[in-house]
Chain A
Amino acid sequence: MASLATAEKKRRPDQRAAFWPTLVVLLGAVYCLLPVVWLVTATTKKSGELFTTFSLWPSFTGGFTDNLAKLASIRGGAFWTWCLNSLIFAGGGALLATAVSALAGYGLAKYQFRGKQLIFNFLLVGVLIPGVILAVPQYLLLSKVGIAGTYWSVLLPSIISPFSIYLCRIYATAVVPDEMLEAGRLDGAGEWRIFRSIALYPMIPGLITAFLLQFVGIWNNFLLPFIMLADSEKFPLTVGFYSLMNQGNDQVNIYNVVITGCLVSVIPLLALFLFLQRYWRLDLVSGALKG
């Protein structure tokens, strides 16, 4: 008896300390996962069932394969084109943005020159200006040049990201030692060679972070492609689903297809994220990394 009581006493404070925090975290997890669970169960339902059966319980009436087949064939396989477009916009845009930002961030971090303060201020304003605001005049200008409606009309604005430049600058300041650059200069290496063979390698974790942030930003962007593109062959997923929802006729059947499409398009991104989580240096964003 006595030993039981002491064991109880030993365990209890720790358990009590764990109960409320754990409960709150679990509630948060339920809140965040609930729509995803709903998405999975809703995908298993035939169009009629969506409105008649309890939506958090899956149906096993073959609705899932039905929906997948409908999704694959809708508008002559448009779903796959949209997936590919999203990948092109997000992958290509983020890659180019990271390259541009790496160069600019390194230039800002490692050189002293006149006009630096001006560039800083412009960068700050650039970070603060809502991208949404720029999309309309960007469209007007790009249509004057004749590239509105092309892949470039979405890619070009995605390549310039003041926030990525800011991140690269902080990271370059923190991880590239000036002494090594000086040593390279004494050895007679050119500035480009110094950047490529001395500065670039330690900057890679920061560049991955900038790439991922930009990738998700472009992948999730709706307004820019929505404004720029008219041809549904070039739509990314976000605009594609929106256009499906907006076509009006046969709404109820479309719901199932859109729900299935949401699930199919969310899964690869989730997997990518869970996989890449460890490579993030998100302390960059919070300013915890001293620059």
Chain B
Amino acid sequence: MRAAIACRSSASLEPKAVPWLFMAPAILLAAGLIALPLGYAAWLSFRGTRVSGSGLGVRREVFVGFDNYLNVLADTAFLSGVGRMLVYALITVPITMLLALLFALLLDNATTRLRRFGRIAIFVPYAVPGVIAALMWGFMYLPGVSPFTDAAGALGLPEPTFLGPVSVYFSVANISIWGSVGFNMVVLYTSLRGLPQEVYDAARIDGSSEIQLALLIKVPMIVPGLVMTGLFSIIGALQVFSEPNTLVTLTNTISSDWVPMMRVYRDAFVTNDLFSASAASMVITGVTLVASLALLRLLQRRAFGEG
């Protein structure tokens, strides 16, 4: 708004200043709410409280160098949280992307029936907040309430366990897969619809089947869309929090530091160790940035032939 008024009142303004005025609200907000918090977290991560003086034990906040980082990286609980997060990501990301691509291709395929219904039905979970999705699935995992347990009982099968030590990974992953396949599918589907349809006719005349058409022509042409959705899926998996955190209210299998973000939350707000929380969050930020930038680089080179 400020930019707006300034612009209007001075049409004779230095042309150099104009783009900056348009961007002023965004820059101010980004500086105050992204750059500054990040810098503050970085600063905190090098601070800590130490007992100074002899015997009396006055605790003071001091500069501690890399101590917090060393503590975090040496902490087996944190590392096993990272391990659990990686297992979760390795299940979630490929399955989400494969299902999204599969459904997008099937919906783009002219012979498939019920396409409109399918598209809407698969998109429905996007409108359900992660916490509510976690509660819904959480109830469906609970032995007393679960329709799966009822069904297994009726069929005389052994009761499925959803919240056992191994199955819990798939149960948590399932919640986010359920929530994100639809959105990614619609994004990929829209890019498929945007492709020039004449190419398909040419390929059909050359005798390629619909499956060949999908895999050899359609998929390579929507690589930018795949990169974008894949990247967001990976970032989403690295910062997973609300699904497992909500399941804590229903099961004991998930600990309070099940994934790194849950530990950051616990350190910051339950045990009040802001310094350790900041160091841990800087580690997560660093890993996310490096991983996604590297991935972008790699995929760009792959997708467009050169860097």
CB of B289 within 8 A of CB of A125, answer yes
B186 proximal to A (CB < 8 A) = yes
Task: Pick from B99, B114, B118, B278 the residue with the most CB of A within 10 Å.
Answer: B118
**Does the CB pair B145–A136 fall under 8 Å?**
no
Majority SS of interface residues in chain B? helix
Contacts of B187 in A (CB 8 A): 282, 285-286
A156 to chain B: which residues have CB within 8 Å? 29, 33
Q: How far is the CB of A170 from chain B (nearest CB, A)?
A: 11
Partner of B16, one of A113, A157, A160, A282: A113
B34: chain A residues within 8 A (beta carbon): 126, 129, 134, 160, 162
Q: What are the residues of chain B within 8 A of A110 when measuring CB–CB?
A: 19
Q: Which residues of A contact B107 (CB under 8 A)?
A: 25
User: Helix, strand, loop or mixed for chain A's interface?
Assistant: helix
Cβ contact within 8 Å between B37 and A137: yes
Give the size range of B's interface with the partner. Answer: 35 or more
Flag whether A2 is at the interface (Cβ < 8 A): no
**Contact present for A103 and B22 (CB under 8 Å):** yes
CB distance from A112 to the nearest CB of B (A): 8
Tell me whether A220 and B129 are in contact (CB under 8 A).
yes
Residues in B with CB closer than 8 Å to A220 are 128-131
Contact with A along B1-32 (1 / 0, CB 8 A): 00110011011010010111111011101100
Residues of B contacting A282 in the complex (Cβ-Cβ under 8 angstroms): 186-187, 190
Q: Which of A33, A38, A160 has the most CB of B within 10 A?
A: A160
B124–A55 touching, CB < 8 Å: no
Instruction: Assess the B145–A42 pair: CB atoms within 8 A.
Output: yes
**Is A107's CB under 8 angstroms from B29's CB?**
no
Kindly supply a per-residue 1/0 record for chain B positions 228-270, scoring 1 wherever the CB is within 8 Å of any chain A CB and 0 otherwise: 1101000100110110011001100000000001001100110
Q: Do A137 and B7 form a contact, CB below 8 Å, given A106-B22, A282-B190?
A: no
Interface centre among B16, B44, B147 (most CB of A within 10 A): B147
Q: State the total of A-B contacts with C-beta under 8 angstroms.
A: 296
Contact B126 A288 (CB under 8 A): no
**Residue A259 CB within 8 A of the other chain:** yes
Q: Given A22, A113, A191, which contacts B112 in the complex, CB threshold below 8 Å?
A: A22
Residues of A near B181 (CB, < 8 A) are 28, 32
Inter-subunit contact B124/A270 (CB<8 Å): yes
Give the contacts of A153-195 with B (CB-CB under 8 A).
156-157, 159-160, 162, 165, 188-193, 195
Stretch at the interface among A3-11, A65-73, A261-269: A261-269
Q: Which residue of A lies closest to B179 (CB)?
A: A220
B117 lies within 8 A of A29 (CB): yes
Interface string of A115-148 (1 = CB under 8 A from B): 0100100100110111111101110110000000
Whether B158 is near chain A, meaning CB under 8 Å from some CB there, is no
Instruction: State whether A245 and B29 are in contact (beta carbons under 8 Å apart), knowing that A128-B288, A130-B285 are contacts in the complex.
Output: no
Q: What are 27 residue pairs bridging A and B, where the CB atoms are less than 8 Å apart in the complex?
A: A17-B210, A21-B112, A25-B115, A26-B118, A28-B181, A29-B118, A32-B181, A55-B147, A55-B150, A103-B3, A108-B23, A111-B18, A113-B19, A116-B19, A122-B35, A126-B30, A129-B289, A133-B281, A190-B8, A192-B4, A222-B131, A222-B246, A237-B132, A238-B130, A245-B250, A265-B132, A266-B132
Top 3 A-B residue pairs of the complex, sorted by shortest distance between their CB atoms:
A107-B22, A286-B225, A190-B11
Binding site for A on B (CB under 8 A): 3-4, 7-8, 10-11, 13, 16, 18-23, 25-27, 29-30, 33-38, 40-41, 44, 99, 102-103, 106-107, 109, 111-115, 117-118, 120-133, 135-137, 139-140, 144-147, 150, 178, 181-182, 186-188, 190-191, 193-194, 210, 222, 224-225, 227-229, 231, 235, 238-239, 241-242, 245-246, 249-250, 261, 264-265, 268-269, 274, 277-278, 281, 284-285, 288-289, 292-293
**Known contacts A222-B245, A237-B132; can you find 11 more A-B pairs with CB under 8 A?**
A24-B106, A26-B114, A28-B122, A104-B23, A113-B16, A128-B231, A132-B239, A165-B26, A223-B261, A258-B135, A273-B123
